[in-house]
Amino acid sequence: MQLEQFAPLPPFEMTVRSLTAEYAFLWVNVAVCLGGIIYALVVARRTRSLLPIMCMVGGALTIFLEPLVDSHLQVWWPIHSQPTILRAWGRPLPVMVLPIVTWYFGIGALLRLDWLQKNGAKSRLWLVYAVEVGMAVALEPPAIQLDLWHYYGEQGFRFFGYPIWWPFVGGACGCLAGTLLYKMAPYLTGAKQLLGGLLVPIAVAAAYWGVGWPMFYVLNVQPPAWVAYVVAFLTIGLALIVVWMCTIATGHYEYRKSSRQHLAADPAL
């Protein structure tokens, strides 16, 4: 693919600022990923199900979505010293991407699946979503400042280079994946549990493009800067709608509604 035909152009000559930081970031994410795999094994043994393991497998499979979403999102991976694990859509992905997407989407789906199976409608999906968004806002900027990856183009509001709208989309991906697995779990028995590994990238892709399409379009047509700010908030709104729909699908919405009605009927509660 000849990226020179697109505008704006990515920063082709950008390099990672620190070799030490690059490999430190890799091994930190490998450790988090291994922790997620251990968590999946523990839950799988407790529940006598392969679905927790399939959550992590599905997280790993989302790496095949990464080059495509990066081209729409205008993410660029600077010249790095790590081996390139995948090259597509003009994006050379360093090997550190694999543990990142494995734990981010794998653990995100697994946490929701596990909590929903244990707590049902009482599971506080909005709280989990808010924590996930907050963690992304806290953790991505240091990597961006070290030029481990870079968001270019007119992204609207940024926090130390990180587009504020993007973590809302990422959190919606995990919420949808966990909800889909939870609703499908009664039907995924025996060998059909292996399909759980495919449901994660299916849900992530659905949320990526189902929610992110307004900003993906704006990023690739170069409108006036103010348009990006408006559309960024529209995209956040779409992400919140997806999470709201997940609360309805899991019964959490009706649970909260019923709880508020009981409190209104009996203030002593």
From first to last of the 269 residues of the chain, give the pLDDT tens digit. Answer: 545 445 567 777 778 888 888 999 999 999 999 999 999 999 999 999 999 999 999 999 999 999 999 999 999 999 999 999 999 988 899 999 999 999 999 999 999 999 999 998 888 999 999 999 998 999 899 999 999 999 998 999 999 999 999 999 999 999 999 999 999 999 999 999 999 999 999 999 999 999 999 999 999 888 888 999 999 999 999 999 999 999 999 998 887 777 777 666 665 55
Residue with token string 């929903």: 116
Long-range pairs for 3-7 at CB < 8 Å and ≥24 separation?
A: 3/90, 6/220, 7/222
Residue-range domain boundaries for the chain: 9-265
Which run of H or E residues covers position 151? strand 150-151
In this prediction, residue 263 carries a pLDDT of 65
Q: How far apart are CA 191 and CA 194, in angstroms?
A: 6
- Residue pair 181/53 in contact (Cβ under 8 Å)? The answer is no
Reported pTM: 0.89
Q: How far apart are CA 250 and CA 185, in angstroms?
A: 12
In this prediction, residue 268 carries a pLDDT of 53
* Assigned token pair, 5: 């035909």
In this prediction, residue 9 carries a pLDDT of 74
- Residue pair 256/123 in contact (Cβ under 8 Å)? The answer is no
